[in-house]
């Protein structure tokens, strides 16, 4: 399961006289019986010493400089051993570390890692695992445990709260009680994280096979409300909104399991749809203007608030708007309207969005059925094989059983596990 690119990087560093170890999620996943998606390497070589060794090496990061080495489509991430935490490190008022380019040893690097299961190092010189923090024991016990003082470590980098949830659900592990306890209280610290970084973190945690479990854990710990406050508020009081978000995430997870393409545009359109729909309905009932104009206004208003927390690039926010704007147009059932909409580049995504809405009872199933039948009939009349597809489309499952109403589950911690 160890990639040839990772091995080549390790041996290149070793041959140049440096220490080099495979570390982090790659080691953790291999030991847990999971095929790793990427590989990280820790070394005593500094970035300026690493760069000349690899033709395709790129230095990135300001808080802590890391090296990305590209081998075809694979990127290996290299970091220099980090030094011990000191009072001289630059921090903001909440305790978040702002500058961290302090180098150290293998041992100091281990204690700077976030969780014990991520502080395992594979040594290619003797094919052994180096474990300073008890990660092997926690892997055996199926526990995610923070290294060091839990609250301080979350304050240093609040994104660790998201990582704790994601890794626990990925491995089907439990959070140690002391690792879980402060999360709800410290969740507001996510507001200090740059919105662009949170966009990527949301994709990591919600655009994967564990999306529904992650969503439920985020909601339980009060993290989801820090990312999507408008959506969380509605999902807490409206089962249909909660079901819609969960269904969209479930379909996304299923596509990933089946190696089908997904797009952040469809995911984010679903995550922000409850407040968009609420605003749309409120205005339509009160003023009765053009549905297209009202939907455009609702989209602008909700996106304007959302990007303060999670920065959504225009290459995704534009198709999100198009998916939303087509929803009122589906309410007009005529062959002429169907022919026009079927030529739209976002038709397939918007249609599949409509199917999700019908499945949770937000619109009549008869409306979705009419559009399904219209596509079949009009496509046959034209003699076309393809009505246009969009990679983030979520396929309908005609054989799926009726969806049961769900409730947000409460994430268990280690102390709550039955004997």
DSSP secondary structure code for residue 238 in this structure? -
| Residue 259 is a catalytic residue | no
- Among residues 100, 109, 114, 242, the one annotated as catalytic is 114
- Hey, which residues does 82 pair with through a beta bridge? 103
* Cα 20 from Cα 31, distance rounded (Å): 19
Alpha helices in 187-263 (DSSP H): 195-206, 211-220, 224-227, 229-237, 239-257
Residue 288: count other Cβ atoms within 10 Å of its Cβ. Answer: 9
Is 38 catalytic? The answer is yes
CB 183 within 8 A of CB 154: yes
**Of 29, 40, 138, 352, which is the active-site residue?**
40
Residue in 375, 372, 376 with CA at minimum distance from that of residue 397: 372
Distance of CA 132 to the CA centre of its chain: 29
SS3 helix, strand, coil % of the chain, rounded to 5? Answer: 55, 10, 35
Q: Which residues 6+ apart lie within 8 Å of 126 measured at CB?
A: none
Residue 157 is among the residues annotated as catalytic for this protein: no
User: Please, are residues 417 and 227 in contact by the beta-carbon 8 Å criterion?
Assistant: no
Q: Within 10 A of 387 (CB to CB), how many other CB atoms are there?
A: 16
Contact 145, 93 (CB under 8 A): no
Annotated active-site residue in 38, 157, 236, 239? 38
Rounded CA separation 310/191 (Å):
10
Handedness of CA 30, 217, 162, 321 (dihedral sign): positive
Contact between residue 205 and residue 183 where contact means Cβ atoms under 8 Å apart: no
Q: Radius of gyration of the chain from Cα atoms?
A: 24
Residues recognised as catalytic: 38, 40, 114
């Amino acid at each position: 399961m160890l990639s040839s690119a990772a091995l080549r990087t390790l041996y290149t560093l070793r041959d140049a006289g440096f220490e080099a170890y495979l570390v982090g999620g790659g080691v953790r996943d291999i030991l847990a019986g999971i095929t790793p998606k990427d590989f990280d390497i820790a070394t005593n070589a500094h970035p300026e010493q690493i760069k000349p060794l690899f033709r395709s090496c790129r230095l990135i990061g300001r808080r802590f400089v890391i090296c990305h080495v590209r081998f075809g489509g694979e990127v290996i991430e290299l970091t220099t051993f980090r030094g011990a935490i000191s009072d001289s490190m630059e921090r903001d008022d909440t305790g978040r570390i702002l500058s961290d380019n302090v180098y150290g040893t293998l041992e100091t690097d281990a204690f700077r890692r976030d969780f014990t299961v991520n502080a395992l190092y594979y040594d290619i010189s003797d094919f052994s695992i180096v474990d300073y923090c008890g990660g092997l024991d926690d892997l055996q016990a199926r526990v995610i445990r923070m290294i060091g003082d839990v609250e301080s470590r979350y304050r240093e980098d609040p994104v660790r709260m998201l990582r704790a949830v994601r890794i626990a659900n990925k491995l089907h592990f439990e959070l140690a009680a002391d690792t879980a306890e402060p999360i709800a209280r410290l969740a507001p610290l996510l507001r200090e994280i740059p919105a662009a970084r949170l966009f990527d973190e949301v994709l990591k945690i919600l655009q994967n096979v564990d999306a529904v479990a992650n969503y439920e854990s985020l909601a339980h710990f009060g993290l989801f409300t820090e990312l999507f406050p408008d959506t969380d508020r509605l999902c807490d009081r409206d089962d249909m909104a909660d079901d819609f978000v969960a269904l969209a995430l479930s379909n996304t997870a299923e596509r990933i399991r089946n190696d089908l393409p997904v797009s952040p545009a469809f995911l984010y359109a679903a995550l922000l749809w409850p407040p968009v729909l609420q605003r749309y309905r409120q205005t339509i009932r009160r003023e009765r203007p053009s549905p297209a104009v009202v939907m455009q206004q609702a989209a602008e208003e909700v996106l304007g608030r959302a990007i303060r927390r999670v920065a959504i690039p225009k290459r995704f926010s534009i198709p999100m708007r198009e998916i939303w704007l087509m929803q009122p147009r589906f309410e007009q059932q005529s062959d002429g309207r169907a022919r026009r909409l079927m030529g739209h580049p976002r038709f397939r995504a918007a249609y599949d969005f409509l199917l999700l809405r019908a499945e949770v009872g937000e619109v009549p199933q008869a409306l979705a059925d009419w559009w399904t039948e219209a596509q079949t009939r009009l496509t046959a009349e034209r003699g076309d094989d393809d009505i246009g597809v969009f990679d983030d489309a979520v396929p309908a499952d005609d054989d799926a059983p009726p969806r049961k109403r769900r409730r947000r589950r409460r994430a268990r911690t280690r102390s709550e596990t039955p004997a």
